[in-house]
Amino acid sequence: MEVHGYMGNQLHIDLSHQKIIKQPLDLTTAIKFLGGTGIASKMLYDRVGPEVDPFDPNNLLIIAVGPLVGTPAPAAARVEVASKSPLTGVLGLSSAGGYFAANLKMAGYDAIIIEGVSEKPVYLWINDGDVEIRSADHLWLKTDSWECVDHIKKDLGFEDHEVRVACIGPAGENLVRYASVVFDRYHVAGRCGLGAVMGAKRLKAIAVRGTKRPTIAKPADFSSAVREAVARMVNDPRYWRYHNYASFPVSRIAYKTGRLPGKNYQTPLLPDWEKTRTLEAALSYIVPQSRVDQKEIGCFSCPIMCFHEAEVREGEYAGLKISSGLHVQPVIEFGAKCAINNLPAIWKCKEICHRLGLDQTSAASCIAFAMELYQRKILSAKDIGMELEWGDEEAAFELLRMIAFRKGFGDVLAEGSYRAAKRIGKGSEKYAMTIKNMEMMVFDPRVGGRAWNLGCITSVRGGDNVRSTHYGFEIGEYKEGEDAKLIEWFDMPPDIKKAIFGAPPRIDEYTYVGKALLVKWLEDLTAAINALGVCLFASSNTGLGPTHYAKLYSSLTGIQLTPADIMLAGERIHNLQRAYAVREGITREHDKWPSRFYEEKIPEGPSQGAVLDKGEVDKVLDEYYRLRGWNAFGIPSKEKLRELELDDIVLDFERRRIF
């Protein structure tokens, strides 16, 4: 069976026996689950059950790419990394951009499945059809992620851009539970600790070179679909703002609306925020795009080009360069949560995380957690090994290194804040800001963004809404009538729009009305996007939706899918992923916020007095479960699973007496 768009092959690597097995991709399953996160989640469900520990040799590490990757489809540059998460114990999913995904696809593979544990450290070298397992003794515990990339490219002897490398740093080697996988220095699959799975398998890196393009079923139709998608992206009224400034404008919006997670979500007010940590402060460091090599820091086939290089030219951090200087996340994580008050120090934290292979969200959250425990005298300087005041950048740098090498108190924080709190005790549990055991990302949920926030607690992986509702329209500022134009722009069926936004349409981030349906719809779309291999920013900031993805997929593969089919595939994937979580013990009890947000009012600032109403959250969660076809405990029903052609999960649930 030949299907265009897919390469039709996968690599099975058995590290315990040093075996490389080239297998045909199960195209029936690939088509049913689209690709990427879909096929990876299905493999994990079928082969990694509750009895398998994340560090067990029988745990799988899967690297998968979607059908649109390696083609001119705009922003189709994502690689999916999947495994059982060492941090959460449930489904670990993370992805990254750059050029690695395209190279893997052009080497001839849709997925790599890695099992077992190598006796000695190794790396994998994929050069089109040739695959080798090579010694990494000279790299293991001797190089950070950036040095590893440079060493491997030099060893292999190809031009720099010809070879792409995914690797781990010291954090992965030392099994830090939120270790990341770093791709070519600047792109990171950060969440869920999948770098620690590589470390447990003694797999230092995967290097890949590919020269073959996927075939296209209907070249003329596909070119037309690509032109249409690109035109929609660049004609979006928000395109140039994101192209020019990435997500950094959100910093000022978050401050002015009082949603910053300052000092571990204690306060949204931080001194001199607008002067030191907003776009105006960042622009003086940004290198003109004309001087930036997008093949070095950017992503394959992307018209957005949101990576902007920041360079510190003077002062204590002179010489520091950051490839994604206008991405707001490190500013929110280290600048707000840890109260670090200058961009060079914040960017230094980001660089350390990249080099050592740490997820910056979990790392910043763990440090903020420790800072609050120090503030409340639950921990002392003797316990930590240093004074740990808010905003102390040198202490943050040192703690990051201690975490990555599991030195001193860093060994406690390397377990993640949920496990660290269990170990510390003394009432510290209430200060660990986690969902499903994973540290929360970005904003304070007590302030607006009802759909944005609901997606955080329903997320299949926990801790954030990047797999669900991470769309910018609810965290924004709109002039009179601007929100109605934005809603009109959405690629969403009119009846769904009316049910969510009302008539006349309006974005109201402070109401729960329509938000359960919006969350479901966005989760299904996001699952499909991740399966196809497309960056979320193509939809969350420029409005591509199921109509465009259906045209791209159909003309590429020759398999005709409608927009409704794309959404159905996304719903199937999301339910599969929820079923995995349920099988691991996740229920309604885990779809909730930390107690702080229900019990403590925001003490000051524009959002003073805001607090979550548990009754309201429970009510909208009930509505969400009903729309999903799940029971009151968040377990997918037999009827819903069968409707989505997931009959094998029904049988598995019946055997395990989950229903």
Residue 238: what pLDDT?
Answer: 80
Phi-psi region of 116 (alpha: psi -120 to 50; beta: other; left: phi over 0): left
Chain mean position to CA 189: 7
Q: How far apart are CA 572 and CA 39, in angstroms?
A: 11
Residue 236: what pLDDT?
Answer: 83
| Amino acid residing at 651 | L
Residue 542: what pLDDT?
Answer: 66
Q: Please report which confidence band the pLDDT of residue 539 belongs to, taking 50, 70 and 90 as the band edges.
A: confident
Class of domain 253-439 (CATH, top level): mainly alpha
pLDDT of 347 over the 80 cut? yes
Report the pLDDT averaged over residues 554-568.
98
Q: Please report which confidence band the pLDDT of residue 621 belongs to, taking 50, 70 and 90 as the band edges.
A: very high
Q: State the DSSP code for 20.
A: E
How large a percentage of the chain has pLDDT more than 90?
91
pLDDT of 292 over the 90 cut? no
- Which token pair is 655? 């055997």
pLDDT of 182 over the 70 cut? yes
pLDDT digits (tens, 9 = 90+) for 224-277: 999 999 999 998 878 888 899 999 999 999 999 999 999 999 999 999 999 999
pLDDT of 359 over the 90 cut? yes
Alpha helix positions (H), 357-477: 360-375, 381-384, 393-404, 410-413, 417-424, 450-458
**9-209 in CATH: which number?**
3.60.9.10
Mean pLDDT is lowest, of 401-410, 472-481, 619-628, for 472-481
Q: Please report which confidence band the pLDDT of residue 599 belongs to, taking 50, 70 and 90 as the band edges.
A: very high
Q: Residue 97 — φ and ψ, nearest 5°? A: -100, -150
Report the pLDDT averaged over residues 68-94.
97
Residue 7: what pLDDT?
Answer: 97
User: Could you give the 3-state DSSP secondary structure of residue 29?
Assistant: helix
Answer yes or no: are the C-beta atoms of 527 and 458 closer than 8 Å. no
Report the pLDDT averaged over residues 578-585.
98
Residue 484: what pLDDT?
Answer: 84
Q: Please report which confidence band the pLDDT of residue 478 belongs to, taking 50, 70 and 90 as the band edges.
A: low
Q: How far apart are CA 129 and CA 110, in angstroms?
A: 13
pLDDT of 1 over the 70 cut? no
Instruction: Residue 357: name the closest of 589, 191, 540 by CA.
Output: 191
Residue 217: what pLDDT?
Answer: 97
**What is the residue whose two structure tokens read 């006796």?**
119
Q: How far apart are CA 417 and CA 625, in angstroms?
A: 29
Mean pLDDT is lowest, of 68-72, 279-283, 287-291, 392-396, for 287-291
Residue 237: what pLDDT?
Answer: 77
Chain mean position to CA 113: 20
Average confidence score pLDDT of the chain: 96
Q: State the DSSP code for 18.
A: T
Residue 71: what pLDDT?
Answer: 98
Instruction: Residue 492: name the closest of 482, 500, 504 by CA.
Output: 500
pLDDT of 310 over the 80 cut? yes
Residue 290: what pLDDT?
Answer: 73
Report the pLDDT averaged over residues 487-507.
93
The dihedral built from the CA positions of residue 35, 40, 42 and 46, taken in this order, carries a sign that is positive
Domain segments of the chain: what residues?
Answer: 9-209, 253-439, 450-656
Answer yes or no: are the C-beta atoms of 29 and 565 closer than 8 Å. no
pLDDT of 313 over the 80 cut? yes
Q: How far apart are CA 596 and CA 592, in angstroms?
A: 11
Q: State the DSSP code for 464.
A: -
pLDDT of 383 over the 90 cut? yes
**What is the residue whose two structure tokens read 């080798």?**
132
Report the pLDDT averaged over residues 334-360.
98
- Which token pair is 468? 């669900």
State the fold for domain 450-656: 1.10.599
